[in-house]
Structure 1
Amino acid sequence: MGADLLLVARLVQGFSTGGEYGSAMRSIAEHAPDCRRGFLGSWLEFGILAGYVLGAALVTWLTAVLSPEDLLAWGWRVPFLVARPLGLAGLYLRLWLEETPACGHLERHTLHRDTRMSNELKQIFRSSAPVSGFILAAGGAIAAAAVLLMPETAGKPLPAAPPVLAALGDRA
């Protein structure tokens, strides 16, 4: 039960982080002056990578310091306890941060329901639906094949390249 709950918590954490990335980058880009937009936007990526490194360092340290029994009993909770204040700070910022100037300008100067724009979006989605459906279906089939075939082929040597590919490889 605990392992399943931990897995669900990590999935929710990953999805929410991925969903917030775009809005965080937009917020940084809209608040930043034009001449420093790229530099200030790069700090978001730096912060994410720093979090990965610090998290991996904490887990590595815990694994080195604690016995396997202590790690399973209580040590696995330490990274979550360390992340709690960071999560609360992020929640505070998310709830109390004002909208960007561009978003405020847009809200003041547009109608809530622009039917012309709505009709144009419907037309775009209708015209691209078959292509989008094909791309989604093909991507799903490739992902499913990779997941289903991965356990079967794991640890086995790769087959030799067909003669045509080998001949092309010699030319390159």
Structure 2
Amino acid sequence: MPDNWVLTTIDSVCDYGYSENVNVDEIALSEWILELEDIEKDSGCVVAQRSKKDRTVNGVRHRFVKGDVLYSKLRTYLNKVLVAPTDGYCTTEIIPVKSYDCVIPEYLCAWLRSPFFLSYTAECCYGVKMPRLSTTDARKGIIPIPPINEQKRITQKLSKISELLSNLSISID
């Protein structure tokens, strides 16, 4: 690891686990409600963006804002992690995370989606049929933090690679 990088824990770079719960009765019909099935595995692409009026929902949802990292703690091997493109509400199986000044959301998202973090979650998830990552274990996860400019460079490269792979799969179809 380069000398100007810092190895630290997830809880030191973001507010993982401190979500605002909202009763669905308080959510307007036009508001976006994100469910796990709306997120493509591995890519973090939103495959459906439906409002409350288009869903049957009850209970509570987590509020998120544009730029939050949305992390699925349920069946982490599906790798459903993305940066929120707009404000909305999500199932409580998705954790909205606000990054601190030391990390940009895109870098945090990329790390949470990385094989290194996936391997960590595979070791500590609990439950057989529907394994999930506890808040305590998520916060203890290790993350390498490069300087902000390096984070931007890394995420730009990853974005370019993702775009190339997406274009490749389109041309194959």
TM-score, normalising length: structure 1? 0.25
TM-score, normalising length: structure 2? 0.24
Greater share of residues in helix: 1
Q: Higher RCO, 1 or 2 (CA under 8 Å, sep at least 6)?
A: 2
| Structure label with greater radius of gyration | 1
